[in-house]
Structure 1
Amino acid sequence: MSGILDRFVKAGAFKERGLRIPADLSMLKDARDWAAGAAADFGLAEEDRFQVRLATSEAVTNAILHGSAADGGAVELQAREEGGALVFEVRDAGAAAVPDGPVERLIEGGRGLELVALVMDDVQLERHGDGSVLRYAKRRAA
């Protein structure tokens, strides 16, 4: 099958998936590999897959360090297709230190969220009573 047709077939067959990991920095590689696999199955180009790995590494690191560090804490990841984009959610049990909204408006101090915003097409941070959700998306190249 040609590369273009193979990408189209893979993209049409994308299945929503999730991953739950302990809130431990030793789990970053597992999270990155999982996200890269989702990006490949979605049909993203190699450069976009690298950006997804980078964004996921930053998002999960942030969730571990600032959200789920309590004993027995976990980080939950979800990937699904929405409107032609691959959408990831990273959920933790901590309270976000910043208000909801577009990430560009939220950045103070660390550079993790800024990096996610630079490499992804859309980024939102939301707080909930039981934690925070960082949502980021990557569209297929035209």
Structure 2
Amino acid sequence: MTQKIYAIHENAEWSEPLFKALEALGVPYEDWFIDQGSIDLSEAPPEGIFYNRMSASSHTRSHRYAPEFTSAVLAWLEEHDRVVLNGSHALDLEINKARQYSALQKAGIRTPKTIVTTGKDQLIESAKQMETPVHYET
């Protein structure tokens, strides 16, 4: 018996081809469109395979807190030893450019000079430290 696949995402357009392929293969699936919601952490999640497709660009589709909520969902699934493809570590890399660069460098892949900063004044000072021109607006 084929296990049900739960597709965790917030972008219907990007998920449409996946759902069509699963239907063509006769694979049972459930669409977990996560733009908002709630989970009861005292309940066990369903059995199945969970495929995380959450995007760091969710805010551009008015789903500002989808990655944060997905982080809680993934922690819940992982706590219950569910099979999760693209689990919490993948989501962490997806939403954190500094962690992406660290992982790439650890794997021997060069990355551009990067300064992590927050705040307008710090951003301007960091931009001045860059070797190539950086465009910013004040």
TM range (shorter): under 0.3
User: What TM-score do you get using the length of structure 1 for normalisation?
Assistant: 0.26
Q: Which has the higher contact order (CA 8 A, sep 6+)?
A: 1
- Mark the structure with the bigger radius of gyration: 2
User: What TM-score do you get using the length of structure 2 for normalisation?
Assistant: 0.27
